[in-house]
Structure 1
């Protein structure tokens, strides 16, 4: 697939745009999330809106990415690089991250602090310890469905009997919990196959 066709897909579960690699710790989360999910590509030299700006020094970018993959991700990752020159002389670096057979991978977010990430749509989402155990058990499969708590069952019942969709704000109000807790619960249910995430409208929502 050529570069323009790839960009036209937009950011998603298997594709991330980066204007440049600012620091290994920041890119490490993206790389780990792709490896922990279905693999994918990072286009360096592309703005979030898909505009091509190119990289100043492809060798420096590759050095930072290799540093992130080797020293800021555990276990380390092997990346594959391809340079593409556009018709207006911009260089875009295509970084391919294969789906790992050695999950889970954790990214270093601070000295001595490592966290796991998975890819949900176009975001790198921090994993729970349960998700990491499932990743370790099932290197080639989707995450299995899991036993649910009373609060988690309540959102499924809400969707089956009252409304076809729910937002983070609606779930937080339904259970009288913080938006952060509501978001983490809905992401967990999405990862384990109970819900689907939709982001085409102004406010993302979830359905069965």
Structure 2
């Protein structure tokens, strides 16, 4: 694989950089969020800014990651690893996480405390109970993308292209004249499958293309 080309893309929905894995609870959120969304890769031995620092002990990193996937994510995950050596003889551990068929996966953040996460851009975002229900009924993205969108889903995409660059749940509820719950489920579904982007940095979250 072309490691430097991959790193040059930067962190995103399917790619995470980690200098090292220090404890299973820290990495479990990333693993769960990738499995709950579209899957992806974790590059261990790469700093947040993309600088390659390598890992000191790849086998130790594997141990922590396997421990996290088996005991700190529920249901457990199976990870796939391979190593890439740079010209400077630095080792980067590439961790592949597949999109899951048994969503939602929850990560243990404290003893007896479990939370679900989804991937939004380059962050692992805690999922609401409603999002968990959506995840439980989702098919993998590859299957979803082959299906045509329904009229309500197409309408929000058209609205964002031709009317306003952003939309809230309240606005979408009025636009298609449905319950807030149904509007939220539709928007979350479109986020999880890559059609919309979710923004929560303002007082009221909103969605864009």
Shorter-chain TM-score: what band? 0.7 to 0.9
Distance in structure 2 (CA, Å) of the matches to 1:118 and 1:137: 15
Runs ≥4 residues deviating over 4 A: 141-145, 157-161, 187-190
Quickly say closer, same or farther: Cα 1:110–1:188, change in 2 above 3 A.
farther
Residue by residue over 1:36-63, the C-alpha shift from the partner in whole angstroms, topping out at 9 and shown as x without a partner, is 1110000000001100000011010000
Please tell me whether the aligned partners of residues 106 and 117 of structure 1 are also in contact (alpha carbons under 8 angstroms).
Answer: yes
User: Secondary structure at the residue paired with 2:190?
Assistant: coil
Quickly say closer, same or farther: Cα 1:48–1:190, change in 2 above 3 A.
farther
5+ unaligned residues in a row in structure 1: which ranges?
148-152, 172-186, 200-204
Moved more, 129-138 or 92-101: 129-138
Which position in structure 2 is the counterpart of 1:104? Answer: 104
Correspondent of 2:189 among 164, 189, 192 = 192
Residue by residue over 1:110-145, the C-alpha shift from the partner in whole angstroms, topping out at 9 and shown as x without a partner, is 000000001011010111111111111113246999
Residue by residue over 1:127-170, the C-alpha shift from the partner in whole angstroms, topping out at 9 and shown as x without a partner, is 1111111111113246999x9xxxxx9xxx99986x5347xxxx
Which position in structure 1 is the counterpart of 2:33? Answer: 33
Which position in structure 2 is the counterpart of 1:164? Answer: 165
5+ unaligned residues in a row in structure 2: which ranges?
169-183, 200-205
Please tell me whether the aligned partners of residues 38 and 98 of structure 2 are also in contact (alpha carbons under 8 angstroms).
Answer: yes
Question: TM-score by structure 1 length?
Answer: 0.74
Residue by residue over 1:54-106, the C-alpha shift from the partner in whole angstroms, topping out at 9 and shown as x without a partner, is 00110100000000000000000000000111100111000000111111100
